[in-house]
Amino acid sequence: MTASARVGLVVVSHSRQLAAGVVEVAAQMAPQVAVLPVGGTADGGIGTDPDAVSRALSAADSGAGAAVLYDLGSAGMAAELAAETAADPDAVLVVDAPLVEGAVAAAVAAQSGAGLATVAEAARSAAAAGPTAVPAEPPREQPAVAGGPTSAEVLLTNEVGLHARPAALLARTVAELDARVVVRYGGHQADAASVLALMGLGAGRGARVAVTASGPQAEEAIRRVRGLAERNFEE
Amino acid sequence: MGCAEKDVADAVRAAAGVVRRHRDELVNLDRPIGDADHGENLGRGFAAVVAALDAGVPSSPGGVLEVVAKTLISTVGGAAGPLYGTGFLRAARAVGAAEELDAATVAAALRAALDGVVARGGAQLGDKTVVDALAPAVAAAESAAGGGADVAGVLRAAADAAAEGAESTVPLVARKGRASYLGERSAGHLDPGARSASLLLRAFADHAAGSAG
């Protein structure tokens, strides 16, 4: 594990219990990420406390910045206020994302060592992140036999398959390229840019997944995905 | 004839009294279209503001406005905290270190407050929010200041326009805030935020008129 700082997360909710619950779920995916809950008013009622958000931001930022997710209207405003008054406003991003899915996606991205902008994007794109059924008639560019320059069948030999960290690594690898990559497994497909969708495929150790790429860097994308799998996702 | 820090602090205390007396009204306005906490939240916030001013009045009108802003942000707990807090904070910045507020400065402070509320909440005129009271109030205040009104005249014009603006929210369908979840069912209700803004401006205007008289 690298010693470098990871992006921290702050979850702001009107309810103390809701914030704590979201943090519980997200933190399970990211043991080395500071994921801090801020819920309710100072006197324990329903509402938001910008001062508490400020304190959580200071605690969550260990040098790589912090992303804030929130539940409803005034929680977002409290987060914006706290971000503006942070010691370094550039080190804070308030992210408009679905709270639970966004927090999980952001935590996984942060755990993998992604930067603040990537963590925020992971949260934002978590909205429609689940895998979808493969269309009955596959697109024509998908070759019937795997192994073409823009597609590959990849055997997952690493311990956990396309779970949290490997999925995040794959999503980051693909994100660097000008290519759209789709992973198919068990009758479902996932956009490889989405950590949650990849995880939703349920492709574990020993699974063979079909990877297809399109776009100017499609071949490079396939090369890199194969490389990742061959290196067991650097486990 | 201007308005020094003590006058601003007294106007804020007067506004806190108005908020306290209208607590139940604001709660009841918020119940059908919101979360029934506006009166309680604002009451708690202004009670804390009075306590902060009791502990010591800052040495400039801008300083007083800043204390109001920071206290509301820390204590209100609902959307009114960041919204009014940002409004008072921008107003404080607009008046800067001025020792007394004249009519033009008051109008400029109201304009800055409106801009802050819009920046924070993203609401436009007609969304059934506090902006529907504040925007016409600012226009009226600027018009009055431009026409040579004194501070009391500017605030009276603002309060009159805010009251009318608040009433105009009744038939509107909410597009921002908790009420927006109700869609068409939000029509037929006075917006609590617009009402509280109207009450605050009326309190400031009444206090200024009393001081001048």
Instruction: Output the DSSP codes for A116-163.
Output: HHHHHHHHHTTTT-S-EEPPSS--TTS-SSS-STTEEEEE--SSSSSS
Burial of B105 (0-12, 13-18, 19+ CB in 10 A): buried
Torsion of CA A189, A195, A200, A204, to 10 degrees: 90
The Cα diameter of chain B in Å comes to 48
- Residue limits of CATH 3.30.1340.10 in chain A: 132-234
Interface with chain B: mutation pick from A41, A43, A46, A68, highest number of B CBs within 10 Å? A41
Mean pLDDT to the nearest integer, A20-33: 91
In CATH, what number is assigned to the domain containing residue B99? Answer: 1.25.40.340
Task: Tell me whether 0.85 is exceeded by the ipTM.
Answer: no
Residue among B41, B44, B70, B73 with most chain A CBs within 10 A, to mutate:
B73
Report, as ranges of residue numbers, the positions in chain B whose pLDDT lies below 70.
1-2, 212-213
Question: Is the pLDDT higher at A234 or at A116?
Answer: A116
CB within 8 Å: B77 and A41: yes
The structural domain count of chain B equals 1
Specify the pLDDT at position A130: 66
Please judge whether A50 and B81 are an interchain contact, meaning their C-beta atoms are less than 8 angstroms apart: yes
d(CA B174, CA B159) in angstroms, rounded, equals 23
Q: Is A48 on the interface with B (CB under 8 A)?
A: yes
Are A13 and A124 contacting, i.e. CB atoms less than 8 angstroms apart? no
User: Chain B residues within 8 A (CB-CB) of chain A?
Assistant: 35, 37, 41, 73-79, 81-83, 85-86, 120-121, 176-178
- The reply to whether CATH 3.30.1340.10 applies to domain A132-234 is yes
pLDDT score at A140? 52
Q: Cβ–Cβ of A78/B82 closer than 8 Å?
A: yes
Query: What count of other Cβ atoms lies within 10 Å of the Cβ of residue B23?
Result: 18
Active-site annotation holds for A188: no
Mean pLDDT computed over every residue of chain A: 88
Res. A114 pLDDT band, cuts 50 70 90: confident
CA–CA separation, A193 and A233 (whole Å): 16
A1 has pLDDT over 70: no
Domain that holds residue B70: 5-212
What does the alpha-carbon distance between residue B10 and residue B176 come to, in Å, rounded to a whole number? 33
Report how far residue A110's alpha carbon sits from residue A9's, in angstroms, rounded to the nearest whole number: 8
Under 8 Å between Cβ of B163 and B188: no
- A85 touching B, CB under 8 A? no
Residues A47, B85: C-beta atoms closer than 8 Å = no
Per-residue pLDDT for A146 more than 70? no
Contacts of A48 in chain B (CB under 8 A): 77-78, 81
What number of CA atoms fall less than 13 Å from residue A57's CA on the CB side?
A: 29
Instruction: Answer yes or no: do B77 and A72 touch at CB < 8 A.
Output: no
Tell me what the mean pLDDT of segment A147-160 comes to. Answer: 83
Among the residue ranges A85-99, A169-183, B27-41, the one predicted with the least confidence is A169-183
Minimal C-alpha gap between B150 and chain A (Å)? 34
Does CATH number 3.40.50.2000 belong to domain A8-124?
A: no
pLDDT at A80: 95
Whether B173 contacts B187, CB under 8 Å: yes
Residue A207: per-residue pLDDT: 95
Q: What is the pLDDT of residue A136?
A: 65
